[in-house]
């Protein structure tokens, strides 16, 4: 029991639990859901997630992970008082809501990817406390006020003594990752018992009983229940998932219905704002594919594709994420995006990749990971922006164009506690989960490299489940060559799948230096062969410079998975807010009000030049000093383009794409760098003659 009672009270309560257990079985037998659950309709994932820790980062990705472990990801519980003081997830009276699980959701995979014994020991304390203090009914989590104040026992019929479903949904994801990393035998019965409790309890305490956050985010709960079904095949897990869907926001219908995304673009009032909240939307992207997995109904796949396409068309920003400041806010490059929305949308795309195998989700994930994610934190990973702006010519206190400006005007600055601290806790899942999803398992006991970055993966493959280690040697996304070096104890036959990104017109594949094939972009290539020790597979993905069209007819420059932004000098200023602590402002040094020449849009291959200025070695950091690539372009200043209300509002172009206002006569050469290496920048340019 989580609370100490006298022996007399304990005997009474054990008896009460026994009685309630009978009620539990009765309620389960009487339970019905609208959706007719048919386990035969359950769809196995197209690709299977590998255990956490099976994929270890190398190169620049390893350095990023090491920075995180040495700083806030590895030590948030030591430097952030909300987690540090009397933590509820360790039995105390402190934080018992979302921030501790948010942090663990990134710290757990990082610990096992780095094989960091100190971090593993740290995160295991929270896992062990949850398992060791699970109530006899199956309920788990911090000791509730009712338990603490009056010694009440939490059962399905007495679920009022429990607390919000939402933070437990995050902890379920933590438990899932911990289990795949450790195979701790306690986890499966722990999850099973909780889900049995939940199935019966939500008759009396629906998903939205305590907060609308749970109603908004039921897909997080459904995902883990359905994963557990894949392990245990217990039908009640599918019934639970269907019931949670019925009690949560109807995201599949919303995403498939274009009125939702149109209304989100048109209205910024209090009406149904939770259905426009960017983080909710980032999580909801995966809800239709989760429903498809449970039911096999192809309508859900259509809803997922329609919703994501509409979302990025009406609200997409060139950095790869949709506007979310906090609400969806249109596609103008002057809008912002919440860091939580970035990491949650990435995780949704990782799950959509697994369940559907749709290459569009894979391409979108890399665009987010390499453009939106890295620019929103400081080099040491100790400070972050609550909202970043696509065309961001200053980072400062201000109102900006945000739908949630805050009276203290701290949403845009780089601080540990600036804005809401949900992002301080939640940002840690971005890179570790991306690392966990570089590889997937396939049918036929094979492996699939669906996203690329330097790493080493170890897995058992083929009919004989032989162990194979594959070292992915690359500077991707900064280079176009990826080498896969295979280590095995002997010859092993297994399928090897590779994504050819849609932006690549034609790739080339070599095996041991010999030409294999030249596949077109936008497909998955499957190689069936017997692999030998020291075999080397080389994938070449030629990267062409292109431009893309964004809000107000602005244009962004792209090459491969990277989007490029104007390289500006950065002037950093440190400040302090009485309530939100220390922070940095960053101001642009040098002119930023440029329009790209029309020739760059018509013939980008001829008009724009790329050069490698340095190698992204193991000391690489996502900043200007380490930017490995530059693109030079011809441009002219637009004198009337100035900062207004802290924002560089995008000049309006005509239908042809040209800005028709006053333009300087002088043609200048400007330098662009990967947007992830910038803090202040222009990424979406007007076009001039």
Q: CA 436, CA 508: separation in Å to the nearest integer?
A: 26
Q: CA 667, CA 683: separation in Å to the nearest integer?
A: 19
When pLDDT is cut at 50, 70 and 90, the band that residue 38 belongs to is: confident
Residues written for the chain: 689
**What pLDDT is attached to residue 26?**
35
**Please, what are the domains in the chain?**
1-248 (no CATH), 251-362 (no CATH), 439-474+481-540 (2.60.40), 545-688 (no CATH)
Q: CA 131, CA 463: separation in Å to the nearest integer?
A: 35
pLDDT tens across 181-237, in order? 999 999 999 999 999 999 999 999 999 999 999 999 999 999 999 999 999 999 999
When pLDDT is cut at 50, 70 and 90, the band that residue 37 belongs to is: confident
Q: Are 539 and 347 in contact (CB under 8 A)?
A: no
Residues of the chain above pLDDT 70, percent: 95
**What pLDDT is attached to residue 33?**
66
Q: What is the mean pLDDT of residues 140-148?
A: 97
Lowest mean per-residue pLDDT among 6-20, 426-440, 506-520 = 6-20
Closest of 534, 432, 545, 543 to residue 477, by C-alpha = 543
Residue 21 has pLDDT above 70, yes or no: no
pLDDT tens across 100-121, in order? 999 999 999 999 999 999 999 9
Residue 7 has pLDDT above 80, yes or no: no
Residue 425 has pLDDT above 90, yes or no: yes
Residues of the chain above pLDDT 90, percent: 91
pLDDT tens across 148-197, in order? 999 999 999 999 999 999 999 999 999 999 999 999 999 999 999 999 99
- Between the CA of residue 51 and those of 88, 168, 355, what are the distances in Å? 28, 22, 16
Q: Are 289 and 255 in contact (CB under 8 A)?
A: no
Q: CA 550, CA 369: separation in Å to the nearest integer?
A: 19
Q: What is the mean pLDDT of residues 62-69?
A: 98
Other Cβ atoms within 10 Å of 613 Cβ, number? 11
pLDDT tens across 315-374, in order? 999 999 999 999 999 999 999 999 999 999 999 999 999 999 999 999 999 999 999 999
When pLDDT is cut at 50, 70 and 90, the band that residue 584 belongs to is: very high
- The kind and range of the H/E element at 261 are helix 258-266
**What pLDDT is attached to residue 25?**
33
pLDDT tens across 647-668, in order? 999 998 999 999 999 999 999 9
**What pLDDT is attached to residue 12?**
29
Residue 131 has pLDDT above 90, yes or no: yes
Q: What is the mean pLDDT of residues 372-389?
A: 98
Mean residue pLDDT across the chain? 94
């Amino acid at each position: 029991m989580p609370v100490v009672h006298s022996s007399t009270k304990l005997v009474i309560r054990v008896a009460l639990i026994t009685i309630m257990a009978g009620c539990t079985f009765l309620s389960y037998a009487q339970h019905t859901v609208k959706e007719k659950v048919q386990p035969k309709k359950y769809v196995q994932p197209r690709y299977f997630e590998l255990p956490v820790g099976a994929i270890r980062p190398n190169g620049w990705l390893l350095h990023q992970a090491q920075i995180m472990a040495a700083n806030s990801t590895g030590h948030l519980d030591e430097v952030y008082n909300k987690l540090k003081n009397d933590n509820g997830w360790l039995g105390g009276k402190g934080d018992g809501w979302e921030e501790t699980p948010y942090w663990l959701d990134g710290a757990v995979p990082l610990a096992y990817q780095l094989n960091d014994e100190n971090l593993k020991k740290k995160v295991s304390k929270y896992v062990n406390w949850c398992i060791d203090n699970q109530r006899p009914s199956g309920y788990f989590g911090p000791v509730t006020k009712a338990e603490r104040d009056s010694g009440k026992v939490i059962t399905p019929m007495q679920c009022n003594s429990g607390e919000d479903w939402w933070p437990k949904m995050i902890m379920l994801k933590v438990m899932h990752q911990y289990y795949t990393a450790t195979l701790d035998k306690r986890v499966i019965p722990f999850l099973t018992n909780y889900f049995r409790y939940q199935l019966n309890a939500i008759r009396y305490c629906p998903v939205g009983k305590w907060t609308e956050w749970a109603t908004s985010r039921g897909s997080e709960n459904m995902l883990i229940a359905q994963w557990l079904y894949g392990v245990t095949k217990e039908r009640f897990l599918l019934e639970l998932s269907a019931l949670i869907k019925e009690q949560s926001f109807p995201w599949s219908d919303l995403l498939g219905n274009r009125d939702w995304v149109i209304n989100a673009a048109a209205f910024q009032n209090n009406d149904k704002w939770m259905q426009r909240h960017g983080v909710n939307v980032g999580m909801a992207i995966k809800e239709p594919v989760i429903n498809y997995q449970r039911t096999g109904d192809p309508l859900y796949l259509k809803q997922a594709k329609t919703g994501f396409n509409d979302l990025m068309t009406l609200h997409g920003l060139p950095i790869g994420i949709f506007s979310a400041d906090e609400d969806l806010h249109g596609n103008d490059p002057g809008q912002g995006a919440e860091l939580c929305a970035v990491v949650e949308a990435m995780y949704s795309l990782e799950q959509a990749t697994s369940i559907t195998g749709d290459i569009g989700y894979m391409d979108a994930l890399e665009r987010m990971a390499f453009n939106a994610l890295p620019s929103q934190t400081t080099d040491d990973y100790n400070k972050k922006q609550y909202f970043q702006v696509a065309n961001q010519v200053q980072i400062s206190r201000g109102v900006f164009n945000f739908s949630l400006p805050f009276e203290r005007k701290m949403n845009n600055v780089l601080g540990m506690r600036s804005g809401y601290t949900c992002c301080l806790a939640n940002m840690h899942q971005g890179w570790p989960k991306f690392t966990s999803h570089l590889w997937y398992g396939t049918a036929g006991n094979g492996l699939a490299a669906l996203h690329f970055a330097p790493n080493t993966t170890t897995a058992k493959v083929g009919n004989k489940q032989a162990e194979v280690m594959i070292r992915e040697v690359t500077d991707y996304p900064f280079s176009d060559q990826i080498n896969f070096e295979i280590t095995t104890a002997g010859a092993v036959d297994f399928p090897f799948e590779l994504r050819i990104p849609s932006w690549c017109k034609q790739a080339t594949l070599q095996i041991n230096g010999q030409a294999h094939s030249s596949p077109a972009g936008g497909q998955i290539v499957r190689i069936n062969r017997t692999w030998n020790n020291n075999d080397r597979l080389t994938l070449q993905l030629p990267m062409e410079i292109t431009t893309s069209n964004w809000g107000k007819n602005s244009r962004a420059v792209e090459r491969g998975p990277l989007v490029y932004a104007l390289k500006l000098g950065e002037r950093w200023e440190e400040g302090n807010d009485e309530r939100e602590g220390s922070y940095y402002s960053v101001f642009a040094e040098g002119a930023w009000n440029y329009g790209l020449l029309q020739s760059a849009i018509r013939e980008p291959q001829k008009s724009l030049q790329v050069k490698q200025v340095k190698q992204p070695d193991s000391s690489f950091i996502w900043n200007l000093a380490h930017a490995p690539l530059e693109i030079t372009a011809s441009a002219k200043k637009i004198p009337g383009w100035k900062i207004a209300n802290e924002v560089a509002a995008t000049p309006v172009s005509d239908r042809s794409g040209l800005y028709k206002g006053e333009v300087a006569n002088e043609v200048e050469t400007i330098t662009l760098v990967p947007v992830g290496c910038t803090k202040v920048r222009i990424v979406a340019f007007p076009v001039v003659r």
